[in-house]
Every structure is written in C-alpha cells, then in structure tokens.
C-alpha cells in the first residue's frame, strides 16, 4: 500500500489540488467519519488528477451500505437518486456536482449473464481488486487524504501502460466490456496496452456478445471521441473485437489487386478518421457525427468492388450502399436518430464534390450541393477534405485548391442568395390564387417545380415566376 510519501511532488500537489477543488469531498468525508464509516475517492477522478487533468466526475467507495449512505447524506445533499441501488450505488447532487457513492463491492460473475451478482465487500482492498485497470484502482481517503495504490497504478501512469489488477482473463471474464474499455483508454490517454492484456482480448473477444448494444455503443463513442481514436480502432481490429460489433471495419482490409489499382481501404479509412480528428479538434472539439461518418464512409466498397476487363478496380455507387450499411449498423448499436441521420447523409454526399475541379459545375450545381447538404454543409466540408489522402503532393494540392474554390463560390452565391433557405419565388397561397386551385397535392407539385426552377436559375422576378408556373400548369393540369 502506498501513501502520499510515495508520490512525486507534482503528484502530491495534484492530490491536494483535487481535494481543494472539491470542498464537497471533505464535507462528505466528515459526515461519513461522524457516522463511523470510511469513504474514499476512487477511479477516474484520482487517475485524472495525477495526470494533471482534473475533472468533475466524482466517484466514491465506502463501507457503508446504501441505506446508511442515504441516511448520512440526507439533509446535506440537494437531491439523491437510487437508480444504481441494486449495484450498491447511491447518487447525490451537491454544489453543482453529481456524486456517486458505492458500497465496497466484491461481486462475482457466472460467465454467462451481463450483470454481476452483487456482493458487498468488507474492505477497500476488496473494492480495488475488482476494478478494471490498475490506473483506476487508486484511492484517496476523504478523512486524511491518504493515498492507496495496491496494484501499481502509479507505476503504470508513469509508464503510460494499461494493465489489469488481476489476471486479465479473470478481469475480462468478470466483465467483457473491459476489453473495449482497454481500447478506449488507449485512445483517450494515448497509453499502451500491455501484451498480456492484448492476448486476453484476442482470446476472449467472443465474450463481448454478453454485453448489451447500449453499453458497447457508449464505450465505442468514447473511444471515437478520444484524442487518438485510430490507435483504439487498430486495437479493436487486431484483437477481433471489431468483428463482434463492427465487422464492416475489419472487412475494409481487402486484398489489394496485383496492379495496385486501388488504395488499401482500411488504411485509407484510418487516415480519413485522423484527418477528421485534426479538423474537428481545431474547430472547437470532437464531433461524434463527423468521426462516425469518416469511419464508415467507405464501408460500401467491399460489396461494390468490381474489376474491369482492363484490370481497373471500381466501386460504383459505394456511397449509396455504404449509407444503407451504416444506417443498419448504427441502428443495431442503438444510436439515436439524431446521430444516424446526419452520418448517413454525409456518407451519401461524400463523393459529390469530385468532378468540380473539371469545371463542370454551374451555379445551379453549387446551389444543389448546398441545398442537399443543408445543415450538414460544414461537416461535409470537413469530411470531403479529410477524404483526400493521396500521397501525390501535386494532386493533393490541386484537390485542396479546388475545394477552396468551391467554398469561395458557395460564399459568393450565398451573399447574393439565401442558399440556406432556398424556397420557390411563389408560395402556396400565391400558387392557389394564380391557378385557382384548392389545397391539395397539385399545389405541392407546383411548389416543387418552382423550387427546382429556383435551384436551377436562381431568384426569379414575380413575372418570371408566374410565367414558369403557367407553363407548368399547361402541361400538368
């Protein structure tokens, strides 16, 4: 067991800074001490403090059982909740912080069910031994700020290594989601996963089927939003975990034809993801929708690969096939519609730009590009730029210049027209009045026609719009 004397000066200061930042913790410690109970700050809060990344998530463990915890925080907490009570967890809200207080646990698993059979432990060591990784198995006493490290968490922080407190096979057998968490921490912290842990992940990857789609989705999203998602993604593929919940990623490792007529789609995809990370990080923070679209934008290629008589490889309509595949996979992972819809839209549109540099786009084509992208336009700009992974510097420079030109052209046309809100030059009431129509489908068809004309030609005068409407009516009424 380590104490604060084992810490470096910087680490001791981090522990003190953590406790000083959250006086709520000391208040909580005094209440539990007065009731005759131990309580410790544990897990990610301690880890992040020692890494110099103080956060707002506070997790505690205690020898007090849930009923006693509720009694201790009653009148002090501004609110409490018991949604995790079956796992020994009581939630409390105080001074804008969400606190989770869990009774020492020493649960066991039957290797089949997804949830543990909760058994309360009797000591801090019981609790720390069941945690996922040594870097998350350190604790700070709220009573005297004593630091406890039974499993080499400090060493592993120093070595930037992910190890399990127990044998990895036992740890992953207890909770297979920990295998995905290992990849997630590698992505978030830029740590290396220990070789025995990787071997266990490979050997036990099939155990991930015990875990609900919702829990897998949450861990996978955190991985994608990490600082280095590419490292985490590689680990998922190399250990076989991707095969369990995202087989489309593994399938991108297609055999390259003998003439090298197409890129390594898997490596290209990871490069696109990294490019997207660079762009969204520079633009205010991680964007899950953009990163998912970057990851899945080419998953339709394996299904559409064809080799022509000249030996050239093609992937016709892979964007449409890939959009359907992405929608299906994201639904299986229980992503919400407000994530699925924009990801699918971006994949569908991601090839639209190519051909612009040949000078074939009219102002009408630019209007349609903006109209079809709609609220996805800013993300589509990033995805399209990210998708340029050629090593040919001249070609890369030309593509970048072409897209710069397109964005400038969009800005010019947008300054002349409200591209974000393209509407027909006559509204439904004007259409009904001019043609003498009652409300109904014909009005909608006329409106749609005028919108197409608006996209094609830009804004029309009143006389021009009425002329177009009458011409349409002659052929359709």
Please compute Rg for the chain using Cα positions. 29
Q: Give backbone dihedrals phi and psi of 381, rounded to 5 degrees, phi first.
A: -55, -50
Question: Which residues 6+ apart lie within 8 Å of 5 measured at CB?
Answer: none
Place of tokens 């490889």: 313
Place of tokens 């020898």: 63
Measured CA angle at 210 (ends 209, 216), to 5 deg: 70
DSSP string, 161-197: EE--SS-HHHHHHH-THHHHHHHHHHHHH-PEEPHHH
DSSP string, 236-277: HHHHTHHHHH-HHHHHT-PPPPTT--S--HHHHHHHHHHHHH
Q: What is the pLDDT of residue 128?
A: 94
Return contacts of 466-469, CB within 8 angstroms, 24+ apart: 466/426, 466/434, 469/426, 469/431, 469/434, 469/435
Would you give per-residue pLDDT tens digits along the chain (477 residues)?
555 556 778 778 877 887 888 889 999 999 999 999 999 999 998 998 888 877 777 899 999 999 999 999 999 999 999 998 988 999 999 988 899 999 998 755 556 655 556 678 889 998 999 899 999 999 999 988 899 999 999 999 999 999 999 999 999 998 999 999 999 999 999 999 999 999 999 999 999 999 999 999 999 999 999 999 999 999 999 999 999 999 999 999 865 543 344 568 999 999 999 999 999 998 888 999 999 999 999 999 988 888 887 778 778 889 999 999 999 999 999 999 999 999 999 999 998 887 665 666 777 788 888 888 888 999 999 999 999 888 788 888 888 888 888 888 888 877 766 655 567 767 778 778 777 888 888 878 887 777 777 777 777 778 777 777 787 777 777
Q: What is the pLDDT of residue 257?
A: 42
Q: What is the pLDDT of residue 89?
A: 94
Q: What is the pLDDT of residue 91?
A: 95
Q: What is the pLDDT of residue 293?
A: 98
Q: What is the pLDDT of residue 353?
A: 83
Count CB neighbours of 84 within 10 A: 14
Q: Report yes or no: 51 and 42 within 8 Å, Cβ to Cβ.
A: no
Q: What is the pLDDT of residue 59?
A: 93
Q: Which of the 8 DSSP states describes residue 437?
A: P
Q: What is the pLDDT of residue 187?
A: 97
Which string of b and e fits 50-81 if b means at least 16 CB within 10 Å?
Answer: beeeeeeebbbbbbbebebbbebbeeebeebe
**Cα–Cα dist 106/126, whole Å:** 6
Q: Report yes or no: 106 and 126 within 8 Å, Cβ to Cβ.
A: yes
């Amino acid at each position: 067991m380590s104490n604060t004397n084992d810490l470096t000066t910087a680490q001791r200061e981090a522990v003190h800074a953590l406790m000083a930042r959250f006086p709520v913790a000391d208040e909580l410690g005094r209440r539990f001490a007065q009731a005759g109970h131990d309580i410790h700050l544990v897990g990610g809060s301690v880890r992040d403090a020692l890494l110099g990344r103080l956060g707002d998530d506070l997790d505690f463990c205690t020898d007090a059982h849930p009923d006693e915890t509720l009694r201790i925080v009653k009148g002090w907490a501004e609110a409490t909740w018991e949604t995790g009570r079956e796992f020994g967890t009581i939630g409390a809200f105080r001074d804008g912080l969400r606190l989770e207080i869990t009774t020492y646990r020493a649960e066991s698993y039957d290797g089949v069910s997804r949830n543990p059979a909760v058994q309360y432990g009797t000591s801090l060591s019981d609790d720390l031994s069941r945690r996922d990784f040594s870097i998350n198995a350190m604790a700070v006493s709220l009573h005297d700020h004593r630091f406890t490290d039974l499993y080499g968490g400090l060493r592993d922080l120093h070595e930037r290594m992910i190890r399990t407190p127990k044998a990895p096979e036992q740890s992953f057998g207890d909770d297979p989601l920990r295998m995905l968490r290992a990849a997630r921490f590698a992505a978030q912290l830029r740590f290396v996963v220990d070789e025995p842990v990787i071997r266990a992940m490979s050997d036990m990857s099939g155990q991930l089927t015990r875990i609900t789609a919702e829990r897998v989705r949450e861990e996978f999203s955190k991985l994608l939003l990490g600082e280095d998602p590419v490292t985490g993604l590689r680990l998922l593929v190399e250990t076989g975990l991707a095969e369990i919940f995202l087989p489309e990623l593994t399938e991108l490792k297609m055999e390259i034809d003998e003439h090298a007529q197409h890129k390594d789609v898997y490596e290209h995809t990871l490069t696109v993801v990294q490019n997207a990370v660079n762009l969204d990080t520079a633009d205010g923070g991680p964007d899950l929708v953009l990163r998912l679209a970057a990851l899945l934008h080419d998953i339709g290629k394996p299904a559409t690969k064809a080799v022509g008589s000249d030996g050239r490889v093609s992937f016709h309509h892979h964007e449409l096939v890939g959009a359907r595949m992405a929608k299906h996979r994201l639904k299986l992972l229980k992503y919400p519609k407000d994530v699925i819809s924009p990801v699918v839209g971006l994949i569908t549109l991601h090839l639209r730009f190519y051909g612009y540099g040949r000078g074939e786009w009219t102002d009408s084509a630019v209007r349609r590009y903006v109209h079809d992208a709609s609220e996805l336009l800013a993300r589509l700009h990033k995805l399209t730029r990210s998708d340029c992974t050629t090593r040919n510097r001249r070609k890369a420079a030309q593509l970048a210049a072409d897209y710069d030109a397109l964005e400038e052209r969009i800005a010019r046309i947008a300054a002349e027209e409200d591209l974000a809100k393209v509407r027909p030059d006559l509204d439904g009431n004007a259409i009904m009045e001019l043609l003498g129509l009652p409300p109904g489908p014909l009005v909608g068809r006329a409106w749609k026609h005028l919108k197409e004309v608006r996209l094609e030609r830009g804004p029309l005068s009143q006389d021009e719009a009425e002329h177009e409407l009458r011409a349409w009516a002659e052929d359709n009424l």
